[in-house]
Amino acid sequence: MNIIERLNKKGDKITFYYDYGRGKGQRPSTGVFMYANPKTPLEKRHNKEALAIIKVKQAETIIEHQAIGTGYIPTHKFKENFLEYFEEFVKNNKREGNRHLGVTKNFKLFIKKDIVHPMEINENLCISFRRYLLDRFNGETPADYFSEFKRVLKAATADHYYRSNPSENVAAKKNPSTELKDFLEADEFLELVYTPCPDEQVGLGMTFACYSGLRWVDVEQMMWSDLKGNKLTTRIIQAKTGQPVVLTLHPVALAIIRKNFEITYREDRDQPIFCLPSRRTVGIVMDKWVARTSIEKKIRPSSARLTFAILLKDKNVDDPTLASLMGHTTTEQVQKIYKRHRPKNEEATIALLPSKERLPYFIQDHSN
C-alpha cells in the first residue's frame, strides 16, 4: 500500500496522501505534511517526526488491507479510551429525545475519570452505574439512561471490544416516584398570581412558566435575543429537525416580558430576561409566597410546567398540540402525566356497566 507525496503550490510544504487508486476520492489526505526546505531546528524536528508518523500510517494501512476477509480487526482500530468510543457512538447514533446526552453526562459524573480502558467496563461496574442512576433519578429516567448505556455496550461488543456484552445480564430498571408532584388548580393558580410575591422576579418568572409551559431551567436561561415579536426561540431542540422549538407566547406571558423590559433590559440582547436568584433561594421564596395564600401544597418552579399541561388537558387540548407546546417529541409523556394526576373517577367508570334494574331477579334481590 503506497503513500504518495505532493508539493503544494507555494512549494514550501510536502503533503502526504494515501494511494488507493486513480479514481475520484481514492487519494485521501493523511493529514501529515513536511517542510520542503527545513531551515530551523524546529522545522527539522517536525520533518523527522512527520516521517515517523507516515511510516506508522503506512504499516497500519497494509495490515488493514491484509486483514480483509479474515475477520481479524487490527488493534489500532480500537480506541484505548472507552469514553471516546462512547461519545462517538452517541454522536453518530442519535435518537428521538435527549436521553443520549443525559447518559453521556451522567456516566462521566459516575466514573470520575478522563480515561477509561474498555477492560474496566465489566458487569459489576454496570450494576454500580445502574444503582447510581436509581439513586439520583425518579420515574423512567434511570431506565431510559441505562437502556442507552446498554445500547452503547451492545455496539462495542459487536465491534469486538468484548467477547460477551458486560451489561447483558443487567436489566434497566425504573424508579417509580412514591409522591406525586403538586400542581395548581385553576382557582389556586389565580389566587397565587393575585398574591404579591416576596421576590418580584421569582413571581414573574413563575407566572411566565405557567403561561408558557417552559421548564424552570429554560426560564432562567431566556435571553432578550430569543424574542422576536410574540415568538420565543427556546433551547429545546427538536430531535427530527435539529432546530429549536419556537413558541407563540400567550398575551399574559407577553405582558410579563414587557413589564420586565423596564426592569432588566440593559441594551444587551444577550442578557437574561429574568433576574432570578439561586434554586435554593427560589424554593424559600416559593414557600413564603404560598404561605400568604390558602393553598396547602408544596409548590415549586417545576409545578408551573405541570400546571400548564394539566389545565390545558382539562380543556380538551389534543395530545399532539400539547406535546408540541411542551417540546416533547411524542405524546407519550403528556398521556402519562395526565393519567397519574387526573385518574378517572372509579365509581363513575364502573357505573357505566348495566344497572341493577336490568339484572336477573335473583341478583336484584341481593343488590341493595
The CA distance from 269 to 248, in Å, is: 19
Over residues 135-151, mean pLDDT: 88
Q: What per-residue confidence (pLDDT) applies to 31?
A: 87
CATH fold of the domain at 186-341: hpI Integrase; Chain A (1.10.443)
Q: What per-residue confidence (pLDDT) applies to 334?
A: 76
Q: Which of 249, 264, 279, 243 is nearest to 200 (CA)?
A: 264
DSSP letter, residue 3? E
Q: What residue type is 67 in one-letter code?
A: A
The reported pTM is 0.52
Alpha helices in 236-300 (DSSP H): 251-264, 279-291
Using the structure block, give the residue that is written with the C-alpha cell 500510517: 57
Across all residues in the chain, what is the average pLDDT?
82
At 303, list the grid cell: 409545578
Pair type for strands 29-35 and 227-228 = unpaired
101, exposed or middle or buried, with CB in 10 Å at 0-12, 13-18, 19+?
middle
344 pLDDT above the threshold of 70: no
Q: Which of 200, 198, 226, 199 is nearest to 212 (CA)?
A: 226
Considering only 75-89, 249-263, 338-352, which range has the smallest mean pLDDT? Answer: 338-352
Over residues 16-29, mean pLDDT: 84
The CA distance from 85 to 304, in Å, is: 39
Greater pLDDT, 169 or 175 = 169
**C-alpha Rg value of the chain to the nearest Å:** 30
29 near 16, Cβ under 8 Å?
Answer: yes
- Axis crossing angle, helix 251-264 with helix 200-212, rounded to the nearest 10: 150
The CA distance from 76 to 74, in Å, is: 6
Binned at pLDDT 50, 70 and 90, residue 270 comes out as confident
The CA distance from 229 to 241, in Å, is: 23
Q: Which of 51, 45, 11 is nearest to 32 (CA)?
A: 51
Q: What per-residue confidence (pLDDT) applies to 90?
A: 82
237 near 328, Cβ under 8 Å?
Answer: no
How does pLDDT run across 29-88, given as a tens digit for each residue? 888 899 999 999 999 999 999 999 888 888 877 776 665 555 455 555 567 788 888 888
Q: What per-residue confidence (pLDDT) applies to 368?
A: 53
Greater pLDDT, 270 or 192 = 192
Is the Cα torsion angle 122, 127, 133, 138 positive or negative in sign? positive
Q: What per-residue confidence (pLDDT) applies to 57?
A: 82
Q: What per-residue confidence (pLDDT) applies to 99?
A: 56
At 213, list the grid cell: 409551559
Binned at pLDDT 50, 70 and 90, residue 222 comes out as confident
309 pLDDT above the threshold of 80: yes
Q: What per-residue confidence (pLDDT) applies to 118?
A: 85
Binned at pLDDT 50, 70 and 90, residue 333 comes out as confident
Q: What per-residue confidence (pLDDT) applies to 96?
A: 53
